[in-house]
Chain A
Amino acid sequence: MSAVVTEYPAFHKPPEQYSGERYDNFRFLKLPIQARTASLYELAPAVKMLEQNYNQDRLHQKFLNLAKKWKADVKFLSSPSRIFGNENYFQIIRLGSAIVPYILQDLQKQPFPWFHALRILVEDENDKNIGVQYAGDDRKMAECWIEWGKKQKLIA
């Protein structure tokens, strides 16, 4: 059994002028060891959330970089086999369905041919036919996908 620590170990003891509750940054050392472990467990969801946010930010940044490169590469192209055969487009699709909200956010700014990637990334077969009635009209297809994204609560 671990003993309750009521005093600092000698090497942690703060100098006289920094003593008192205000400067007591090592208060947790005074807790029993079980209490210290419990507080780590309490922190775990917060740590996990921070980790998720960090991973999401990294994914978003990766998506933005690839999208920027792809748009620059295909800006003057008309042939879809060249536009969708671009290496950066493949890499964007390879990021997986987690990037669907980012694609929809980009569509909200300006219609760009993301529909090919969206059709690959959405899981439901029915969703793959969104906007088919507006074939060739990027603006209306973008409106359909944005509306779908809002219904699915993927974008605001």
Chain B
Amino acid sequence: MERDLELEMAFPNLLPGEYNLKSPVDPTYNCLAFAADIDTKRLWPGKEYYPLYDWPRHLTNEDTIECVCEYFAAIGYKVCLRPSWWAYLFKILTLRDPSIFALERGFEKIAIYGIAKEPLHLSKQIPDGRWKSKLGYGRDIEHNTLKALECQDYGKPVVIMKKRISNANNPTS
């Protein structure tokens, strides 16, 4: 399995064997665009950085997690809420993980990392329940957990959003 030592140095929780390198270095797109399945441009909210980053004109343009949520809400995602006590009861009965990070059949999820209100990174869940990320100007990787990318530069996953996917696109359902 191919390893990237520089990557492992930058992300202490990213352990060897728990990630796969998926692409060469490509500065064309960033993590937000990658999570939205766009690989031709860089997306990020914030007026002060226009035109370095593109952002839809009709959405609020501020460098906040709310604005990122607004963007993904506009393309069909909804914010996942923390599971309640009955979800844990459901887990006991069905042996299914009720965590908002878990794979849900018929849904695709994105995770927004950040510190306070500042968005810092995005990951997208792939059909096997793992996550894929574009790391800044670096490479695309697939990682087993969201915790793998938790660090000072990215913060922690603070919002999880999910979107229902049609059966044709969803091999797991």
Contacts and interface: CB of A to CB of B under 8 A. Distances in A.
Interface of A: 74-82, 84, 110-113, 115-116, 131-132, 134-139, 141
Interface residues of B, number: 34
Q: Which 5 A-B pairs have the closest CB atoms?
A: A136-B54, A135-B51, A136-B41, A76-B136, A80-B49
Nearest to B10: A76
Nearest to B32: A78
B120 A82 contact: yes
Nearest to A111: B27
Nearest to A142: B27
Interface SS majority for chain A: loop
A143 B20 CA distance: 33
Interface SS majority for chain B: loop
Given A82-B120, A82-B153, A138-B28, A76 B135 contact: yes
B142 interface: no
B40 A80 contact: no
A135 B50 contact: yes
A79 B119 contact: yes
Q: Which of A132, A136, A137 has the most chain B CB within a 10 Å cutoff?
A: A136
Q: Which of B10, B40, B42, B119 has the most chain A CB within a 10 Å cutoff?
A: B42
